Amino acid sequence: MTTASTVVNDAAYSVTDVRHTYGTGTHALQDVSIELPRGSVTSLIGPSGCGKSTLLNILSGLLRPSEGHVEIFGRELDGPPVEVSHMFQKATLLPWRTVLENVLLPLELRDGKKAARKQKSKARELLKMVGIADFEAGYPHQLSGGMAQRAAICRMLVTEPQILLLDEPFGALDELTRERMDTELLRIVRDTGATAVLVTHSIPESVFLSDVVYAMSARPGRITRAIEVDLPHPRGEHTLADPRYLELINTVRQALDEGYRRGAHT
């Protein structure tokens, strides 16, 4: 997989020998090198505190790694790039804006208020797609956790990003709602051809959604295993009954358990 780094290659991201140590001395990441093909869905899974969010923050340009470097579409990463939308565990909707205004926020910041206003119909479409069109004029405190998370998805998608970075996006939802959101998300990603990186704690979720699952060890986080998920597309309820699905879940669990045991997690 070695390519001359000056040549534009087909990867959305290519991460080489990244390490990160925080100012506090916490050694969060160690020797991470991964390549994420365009249009792929990748999951990062590992024990709490192993550096998953750190890695995602590095990919989003919010954090510069202590060592190593990151390329996005073949160019050196340097600050948050326009192609990327980042979604966090909490929906983080601004409570003083209506749902619609929240969804329009990234456009407003990028193109100004006027331009954003013109895109209302697009935002409305997204809200309709995730099933909360009726709430566009409501305020976040009137939404349930699942509804807020859906609004955050719309906000993430409204700029038509080529890359989606998702940090435990559905961690706060109950299992059944979560499964539905997973399915929806997968459909959107496939439809738009975007590249997605997902951080999750749920083994079944990682398998269900991804092309590759990277298992990480406890701090300092390193990638211990890469599990290719060869489940056929499109995936859906039938996938859950697929014996290969359960098999892969067990594979990931074992990979994780090793990393878990090796770490210092209490």
Partner 1 sequence: MVLTRSQPTQARTRRRPTEGRRGLLARMPSWAPVLISIAVFLAAWQLLVTFGGISQLVLPSPLSVAEQVVIVTQQLFVGGFLAGQLWITVQEILLGFVLAVVVGVIVGIVVGLTSFGRRGIMPLFVLLDATPKIAFAPVFIAWFGFGIASKFLMAAFMSIFPIIVSTAQGVAAVEPDELKLFQSMKASRWDIFWKLRVHRALPYLFTGLKIAVVACLTGAVAAEFIGGGIGFGEQVRVAAARIALDRVFALIFFLSLLGLALFMSVAWLEKRLTFWNVRS
Ligand X SMILES: Nc1ncnc2c1ncn2[C@@H]1O[C@H](COP(=O)(O)OP(=O)(O)OP(=O)(O)O)[C@@H](O)[C@H]1O
Please enumerate in sequence order all residues whose Cβ is within 8 A of that of 241, keeping only pairs 6 or more positions apart, or say none. none
- 162 vs 202, which CB is nearer to a copy of itself? 202
- Least Cβ distance, residue 110 to a copy of itself (angstroms): 31
Return residues touching partner 1 (CB under 8 A): 20-24, 60-64, 66, 78-80, 82, 84-86, 88, 90, 92, 94-96, 105-106, 108-110, 139-141
What's the order of all strands across the beta sheet hosting 27-37? Answer: 27-37, 11-21, 67-72, 75-76
CA 54 to chain centre: 13
State in angstroms the smallest separation of the CB of 84 from partner 1: 8
Residue written as tokens 């298992």? Answer: 215
By CB under 6 A, tell whether 155 contacts ligand X: no
In the list 28, 152, 181, 223, the residue contacting ligand X (rule: CB under 6 A) is: 28
The interface partner of residue 146, options being Mg ion, partner 1, a copy of itself, none and the CB cut-off 5 to 8 Å by kind, is: a copy of itself
What end-to-end distance do the CA atoms of the chain give, in Å?
37
| Binding residue count for a copy of itself, defined by CB under 8 A | 21
- Other C-beta atoms within 10 Å of 101: how many? 18
How many CB atoms sit inside 10 A of residue 115's CB? 12
User: What residues line the site for Mg ion (CB under 5 A)?
Assistant: 53
Q: Residue numbers of the site for ligand X (CB under 6 A)?
A: 22, 24, 26, 28, 48-54, 219
